[in-house]
A and B are shown apart, each in its own frame.
Chain A
Amino acid sequence: MAGPQGTQPRTSTPLAIEAVGIVKSFPGVIANDHVDFDLRVGEIHALLGENGAGKSTLMNVLAGLYRPDEGEIRVGGEPVQLRSPRDAIAAGIGMVHQHFALVPSQTVAENVLLGLDRPRFRLDLKRTEAEIMSLATDIGLRVEPSARIWQLSIGEQQRVEIVKMLFHGARILILDEPTAVLAPQETAELFENLRALTDAARSIIFISHKLGEVLSIADRITVMRAGKVTAAGLEPEGVTRADLARRMVGRPVLESLERTKVEPGAVVLSVEDVTALNDRGLPALRGVSLQVHAGEIVGIAAVAGNGQSELAQVITGLRACTGRVVVDGRDIAAGPVRAAIESGVGHVPEDRAGVGSAPNLSLIDNLIMRRFRQQPITRGPFLDASAARSKAQTLQGAYEISAPTLDTPVRILSGGNLQRLILAREIDAAPRLLVAVQPTRGLDVGAIEGIHQLLLDLREQGAAILLISEELEELLALADRILVMYEGQVTTAVERPSAADIDAIGLHMMGGEGADSAIDRASTVG
């Protein structure tokens, strides 16, 4: 295994930032254990590692959010003390967190100004907007300074975060899993932007769990495991995904899965001519009908914003709709959410921090969230604390959720561990129907393998699964049938999809004309 040696720059490119011997421990864990890391000016340095490896912690140290217990940070060769994000920004370091910190009701320009000391007295928005515009166009980022945040897609919001950091003077950008929330096309666009940034002498640290992506964009790659660096500054040439996966997880990872044949059973979910509005009051679903059988995984492929999020919400009772949503013969379209839960509908929501969990409550409280009404946790009006604790303990063990204690607030869990908690809760309830939206978002390759296996097991046990994912590869690996959604409608169905269908599905996702014949050909051949 490669040691943490070899951090000396092999070229003469100056270092933008250098972290030496960083130690950061939290009660019960050493999140960073003598970590060395460096970033050259103008490079994209990818940071990889399994869930809870300490990547976000290291980045938070560099961004001034955490103080390291030991170690030194040098910016441009000079040692610096970063006591707050303000210090970090003063030193030219800006971090874009996975959960954006934008005010939805305000404009881009207003959000960009947040946290700046200026303007002292009078806000000249017009001038700021012009400044933002010129900064953005200089670097080649498209933003609309007067647009309001809520009107923007996730990818656009992310761009606003980046522009905000640049406007605040950042020359070193830290992006914590930026692509986890992006659709493939948005990712491609982000990568173009990142290249433009490095051309403009900005340096970027980029965290991702997607190995292919890392190999395509990174100039160098560092891998962490259990708080330590296991490979420092690898050049991507000659490195394979399997190599990276092994270094991350410490064992070989199978990227393909065993699928047993399951004869689909009775119809579990039947969505009939459903229409619904999105948050802005515009039509999001226009007459969607689909069925999912017991023992079947149906995948939904769509570009973000084509109604797939709303579809998940409608089925799980979170969004009002017209039409019928029938689960095991019971129409639950009229809500409430509880009717869906009681009909055995599990839901892995898209927004794990905002919807799927209560950040300041404990692991226990979060693990019982959807089942606290059942025996043995509920006893009359009382909740049985010890039953809840033992349930939580079992789940924590079975799904390897790493956290200091069961009473820890879940907000301090690493991103992947929070996702595991939600999956544990929803899968363990043995749902009749599981609506899983991006279930492996933010998980490391090892965990993805585990979750895929769990979903396949669930299918084998006769559950119906509706899998909404932006990863076509994930859909191909798991789905028995893929439905493509475009502008609020199911436009195409692909039976027993295979890798040969990727292009056709991609075309349909873009609403492409003439894609039909491609699909027809693909499915008759496959």
Chain B
Amino acid sequence: MIVRLEPRATAPRWLQAALTLAAIVVALAIGAVILAFVGGDPVRAYLHIFDAAFGDIGVLSDTLVKATPLILTGLACALAFRMRLWNIGAEGQFLLGAWGAGAIVLVPILPAGMPAFVVIPAMMVAGALAGGAWAFIPGILKARLGVNEIITTLMLNYIALAWLQFWVFGPWSEGGFQQTGPFPREAWLPRLTDFAAQIPVLAGLTTHLGLVFALVATAIMSVVLSRTRWGYEMRLIGDNARAARYAGINVAKYVIVVFVISGALAGLAGMSEVSGVVHRLQDRISPGYGFTAIIIAYLARLGPWRVVLASILFGALILAGREIQPSGVPAMIQGIILFCLIASDVLLRYRVRVGRPAEATATAPT
């Protein structure tokens, strides 16, 4: 028997979905084999991961907390990737967003004692602006000078981290520690647990308003992409930039604008994380959300609502990483999922034929 690949002209839609699910299942199976090989009990490990992520309302809430920055950064990547702009700088834009949001209360830009309904919108705007400004750099370099955005966005991640470190180690450091002092309560995004006085079941649930930002952003992006002129123009640019130019679209402007919006989404994720979870600035606010976001965008095949689903899955894996030993297992599974996904793409573009060797070889003349 011999297995052969044959290119296919078009792939049906259901196949994409089926292959994505299959890739996840296969990844879990490979993970199980590895777990069994090193002497673990894969079934128990998976049950444990599932339990640690979705087992009760408390951990489910924690999963959603983890998913929130992933959704926003995932959307940031998906948006850029749709135009074939390889923004792998969501991490840096996230950090800048956190920094910008922090600046509102740390500089302070707003005087102390302002109410939450002023402070929080100000932080959102600052976070989105800072992230957007950070992404403007690769955007304009790409649009005007044709500089490869993969390199610039990647390098800007390191600069962003150094920038954040400078502020939390230096001017904003609290007593020489590598973090700032806690933000005032007005700068905290409301969490479910804040309403425990009225609704007791919410006690201890840390899901915060950032999730709503993420879902609203998803809804907006979904509508914009599928129904509006801008979505159409982006589709055109993403498929054939020369045709887009011929259609009268200012492609360079789009490159810049999409980069800025992508950065703003990642910046908003950074704001949501410091304002909703960490409540202060420190240099370790991201366990690599901006990088995981690339995998998520890919897993979601750039669909906004699918980004939400993929983020919840990855939120669960990140959360489980804290819970179970060895904690490397969920990270390993993340990696295997990505591999399986990339591998499954082959099946999208080719059809597998199984045949006997004799039949499969072409007899060459002469």
Q: Report A-chain residues with C-beta under 8 Å of the C-beta of B353.
A: 83
Q: Report B-chain residues with C-beta under 8 Å of the C-beta of A383.
A: 227-229, 231-232
Q: Report A-chain residues with C-beta under 8 Å of the C-beta of B355.
A: 81
Contact status A358-B362, CB under 8 Å: no
Contact status B363-A80, CB under 8 Å: yes
Contact status A81-B229, CB under 8 Å: no
- Selected from B7, B239, B247, the residue in CB contact (under 8 A) with A359 is B239
Q: Report A-chain residues with C-beta under 8 Å of the C-beta of B18.
A: none
Query: Bound state CA distance, A382 and B231, in angstroms?
Result: 9
When each residue 66-102 of chain A gets 1 if its CB lies under 8 Å from chain B and 0 otherwise, what string results? 1100000001101011111001101110000000000
Contact status A365-B240, CB under 8 Å: no
Contact status B248-A358, CB under 8 Å: no
Contact status B364-A90, CB under 8 Å: yes
The answer to whether A508 has its CB under 8 Å from any CB of chain B is no
The answer to whether A308 has its CB under 8 Å from any CB of chain B is no
Contact status B232-A80, CB under 8 Å: no
Given known contacts A171-B366, A349-B246, A354-B242, A381 and B228 CB-to-CB distance under 8 angstroms:
yes
Given known contacts A83-B360, A383-B227, A357 and B10 CB-to-CB distance under 8 angstroms:
no
Contact status A78-B365, CB under 8 Å: yes
Query: Bound state CA distance, A355 and B240, in angstroms?
Result: 8
Query: Bound state CA distance, A84 and B4, in angstroms?
Result: 9
Contact status B360-A357, CB under 8 Å: no
Contact status B243-A92, CB under 8 Å: no
For chain B, residues 233 to 255, give those with C-beta under 8 angstroms from any C-beta of chain A: 235-236, 239-240, 242-250
Contact status A78-B363, CB under 8 Å: yes
Q: Report A-chain residues with C-beta under 8 Å of the C-beta of B235.
A: 358, 361, 365
**Nearest Cβ on chain B to A137's Cβ, whole angstroms:** 22
Q: Report B-chain residues with C-beta under 8 Å of the C-beta of A385.
A: 227
Q: Report A-chain residues with C-beta under 8 Å of the C-beta of B239.
A: 358-361
The answer to whether A257 has its CB under 8 Å from any CB of chain B is no
Contact status B366-A369, CB under 8 Å: no
Which of A46-54, A278-286, A333-341 is found at the contact surface with chain B?
Answer: A333-341
Q: Report A-chain residues with C-beta under 8 Å of the C-beta of B363.
A: 75, 78, 80, 91
Query: Bound state CA distance, A83 and B240, in angstroms?
Result: 30
**Nearest Cβ on chain B to A26's Cβ, whole angstroms:** 8
Contact status A336-B250, CB under 8 Å: yes
Q: Report B-chain residues with C-beta under 8 Å of the C-beta of A412.
A: 9-10
Contact status A372-B246, CB under 8 Å: no
**Nearest Cβ on chain A to B244's Cβ, whole angstroms:** 8
Contact status B246-A82, CB under 8 Å: no
The answer to whether B56 has its CB under 8 Å from any CB of chain A is no
Q: Which of B7, B231, B240 has the most chain A CB within a 10 Å cutoff?
A: B240
The answer to whether B158 has its CB under 8 Å from any CB of chain A is no
Query: Bound state CA distance, A64 and B235, in angstroms?
Result: 32
Given known contacts A84-B7, A409-B10, A358 and B230 CB-to-CB distance under 8 angstroms:
no
Contact status A370-B10, CB under 8 Å: no
Contact status B359-A336, CB under 8 Å: no
Query: Bound state CA distance, A361 and B6, in angstroms?
Result: 23
Q: Report B-chain residues with C-beta under 8 Å of the C-beta of A357.
A: 240, 243
**Nearest Cβ on chain B to A29's Cβ, whole angstroms:** 13
Q: Report B-chain residues with C-beta under 8 Å of the C-beta of A378.
A: 229
- Selected from B6, B229, B236, B243, the residue in CB contact (under 8 A) with A355 is B243
Main secondary structure of the interface of B (DSSP, over half): mixed
Q: Report A-chain residues with C-beta under 8 Å of the C-beta of B250.
A: 336, 338
Query: Bound state CA distance, A381 and B230, in angstroms?
Result: 8
For chain B, residues 181 to 239, give those with C-beta under 8 angstroms from any C-beta of chain A: 227-232, 235-236, 239
**Nearest Cβ on chain A to B240's Cβ, whole angstroms:** 4
The answer to whether A148 has its CB under 8 Å from any CB of chain B is no
Query: Bound state CA distance, A381 and B342, in angstroms?
Result: 36
Contact status B228-A382, CB under 8 Å: yes
For chain B, residues 46 to 85, give those with C-beta under 8 angstroms from any C-beta of chain A: none
Main secondary structure of the interface of A (DSSP, over half): loop
Contact status B366-A76, CB under 8 Å: yes
For chain A, residues 308 to 367, give those with C-beta under 8 angstroms from any C-beta of chain B: 316-318, 336-338, 340-341, 347, 349, 354-361, 365
- Selected from A65, A87, A355, A382, the residue in CB contact (under 8 A) with B246 is A355
**Nearest Cβ on chain A to B162's Cβ, whole angstroms:** 35
Q: Report A-chain residues with C-beta under 8 Å of the C-beta of B243.
A: 354-358, 369
The answer to whether A373 has its CB under 8 Å from any CB of chain B is yes
Contact status A82-B247, CB under 8 Å: no
Closest to B228 in A: A381
Given known contacts A84-B4, A382-B227, A409-B10, A361 and B364 CB-to-CB distance under 8 angstroms:
no
Q: Report A-chain residues with C-beta under 8 Å of the C-beta of B232.
A: 365, 372, 383
Contact status A92-B230, CB under 8 Å: no
For chain B, residues 104 to 158, give those with C-beta under 8 angstroms from any C-beta of chain A: none
**Nearest Cβ on chain B to A510's Cβ, whole angstroms:** 31
**Nearest Cβ on chain A to B7's Cβ, whole angstroms:** 7
**Nearest Cβ on chain B to A265's Cβ, whole angstroms:** 26
- Selected from A81, A316, A356, the residue in CB contact (under 8 A) with B359 is A81
Contact status A373-B366, CB under 8 Å: no
When each residue 366-399 of chain A gets 1 if its CB lies under 8 Å from chain B and 0 otherwise, what string results? 0001101100001001110100000000000000
Query: Bound state CA distance, A358 and B235, in angstroms?
Result: 9
**Nearest Cβ on chain A to B356's Cβ, whole angstroms:** 11
Contact status A80-B362, CB under 8 Å: yes
Closest to A14 in B: B365
For chain B, residues 325 to 366, give those with C-beta under 8 angstroms from any C-beta of chain A: 353, 355, 359-366
Query: Bound state CA distance, A359 and B240, in angstroms?
Result: 8
**Nearest Cβ on chain A to B325's Cβ, whole angstroms:** 45
Contact status B240-A87, CB under 8 Å: no
Contact status B366-A92, CB under 8 Å: yes
Contact status A92-B365, CB under 8 Å: yes
Q: Report B-chain residues with C-beta under 8 Å of the C-beta of A336.
A: 248, 250
Given known contacts A360-B239, A365-B236, A369-B247, A82 and B229 CB-to-CB distance under 8 angstroms:
no
Query: Bound state CA distance, A235 and B339, in angstroms?
Result: 57
Query: Bound state CA distance, A150 and B360, in angstroms?
Result: 38
Q: Report A-chain residues with C-beta under 8 Å of the C-beta of B236.
A: 358, 361, 365, 369
**Nearest Cβ on chain A to B198's Cβ, whole angstroms:** 39
Closest to B244 in A: A358
Q: Report B-chain residues with C-beta under 8 Å of the C-beta of A409.
A: 10
Contact status B365-A75, CB under 8 Å: yes
Q: Report B-chain residues with C-beta under 8 Å of the C-beta of A341.
A: 248
Given known contacts A358-B239, A360-B239, A337 and B229 CB-to-CB distance under 8 angstroms:
no
Contact status B242-A373, CB under 8 Å: no
**Nearest Cβ on chain A to B256's Cβ, whole angstroms:** 15
Given known contacts A358-B236, A359-B240, A361-B235, A373 and B4 CB-to-CB distance under 8 angstroms:
no
**Nearest Cβ on chain A to B28's Cβ, whole angstroms:** 32
Contact status B9-A88, CB under 8 Å: no
Contact status A67-B6, CB under 8 Å: yes
Q: Report B-chain residues with C-beta under 8 Å of the C-beta of A338.
A: 248-250
**Nearest Cβ on chain A to B148's Cβ, whole angstroms:** 14
Query: Bound state CA distance, A72 and B331, in angstroms?
Result: 51
Query: Bound state CA distance, A357 and B242, in angstroms?
Result: 9
Closest to A347 in B: B246
Q: Report A-chain residues with C-beta under 8 Å of the C-beta of B240.
A: 354, 357-359
Contact status A337-B245, CB under 8 Å: yes
**Nearest Cβ on chain A to B196's Cβ, whole angstroms:** 41
**Nearest Cβ on chain B to A514's Cβ, whole angstroms:** 41
Closest to A80 in B: B362
**Nearest Cβ on chain B to A176's Cβ, whole angstroms:** 16
Given known contacts A84-B6, A355-B242, A356-B243, A381 and B364 CB-to-CB distance under 8 angstroms:
no
When each residue 242-283 of chain B gets 1 if its CB lies under 8 Å from chain A and 0 otherwise, what string results? 111111111000000000000000000000000000000000
Instruction: Taking A82-B362, A365-B232 as given, write out 15 further A-B residue pairs in contact, using a Cβ cutoff of 8 Å, ordered by the A residue number.
Output: A65-B7, A81-B360, A84-B5, A90-B364, A317-B248, A347-B246, A355-B243, A357-B240, A360-B239, A361-B235, A361-B239, A369-B236, A381-B230, A383-B227, A383-B228
For the complex of A and B, 6 pairs with smallest distance between CB atoms: A76-B365, A338-B248, A358-B239, A87-B362, A358-B240, A91-B362
12 contacts between A and B (CB under 8 A): A75-B364, A87-B361, A91-B363, A171-B366, A318-B246, A347-B246, A354-B242, A354-B243, A355-B246, A358-B244, A370-B248, A383-B229
